[in-house]
A and B are shown apart, each in its own frame.
Chain A
Amino acid sequence: LIPRQFLIAVILLAGLVIGMSVYVWRLRERQVREEQPAVQTSANKPVAPPAAGPTEQATVYVAYDDPGELRAQSINIPLSADRQQHAAQLLRALLDLYTAKGSPHPLGPGSDIRDVFLVDPGIAVIDLNSALADTQVSGVLTEELTVCSLAQTLATNLPGLVRVKFLVDGKERDTLAGHVDLSNFFDVSQVAEMAKSLGPH
Chain B
Amino acid sequence: MIDPAHGGIESGAVLNPTILEKDVTLAVAEHLRQDLTSRGIVTALVREGDANLSTDDRAAAANLERPSLYLSLHASSEVGALRIFSASLPDTVNGGGPFAQWESAQTQSLAGSRAAEQQIAAALQTSGFAVRQLTAPLRPLNNVMVPAIAIEFGPPSANVVQLDSPEFQRSLSIALANSIAAWLSHPQTAAPNPSVGGAATTGAPH
Contacts and interface: CB of A to CB of B under 8 A. Distances in A.
Interface of A: 65, 68, 137-142, 144, 147, 163, 174-175, 178-181, 183-187, 189-190, 193-194, 197-198, 201
Given A65-B78, A140-B150, A178-B13, A193 B138 contact: no
A140 B133 CA distance: 13
Contacts of B89: 190
Contacts of B167: none
B97 to A, nearest CB: 20
B138 A179 contact: yes
A139 B152 contact: yes
Contacts of A183: 139
Contacts, number: 88
B34 interface: no
Contacts of A190: 88-91, 137, 195
Nearest to B21: A138
B76 interface: yes
A1 to B, nearest CB: 93
B16 to A, nearest CB: 13
B158 interface: no
24 contacts: A65-B78, A138-B14, A138-B21, A139-B76, A139-B78, A140-B85, A140-B136, A140-B138, A140-B150, A141-B136, A144-B137, A174-B139, A178-B6, A178-B12, A180-B136, A180-B137, A181-B142, A184-B137, A185-B90, A186-B137, A187-B90, A187-B92, A193-B195, A194-B136
Interface in B107-147: 132-139, 142
Contact of A138 (B13, B83, B134): B13
Contacts of B136: 140-141, 144, 179-180, 194
Contacts of A193: 88, 135, 195
A201 B74 CA distance: 22
Contacts of A181: 137-139, 142
A22 B103 CA distance: 66
B13 A198 contact: no
Contacts of A140: 74, 76, 83, 85, 136, 138, 150, 152
Interface residues of B, number: 32
Contacts of B78: 65, 68, 139, 141-142
Nearest to B74: A140
Nearest to A198: B134
B81 interface: yes
A188 B35 CA distance: 41
Contacts of B13: 137-139, 178
Interface string B83-104: 1010011111100000000010
A27 B6 CA distance: 67
Contacts of B135: 193-194, 197
B10 interface: yes
A163 B134 CA distance: 21
A141 B132 CA distance: 11
A196 to B, nearest CB: 9
Contacts of B14: 138
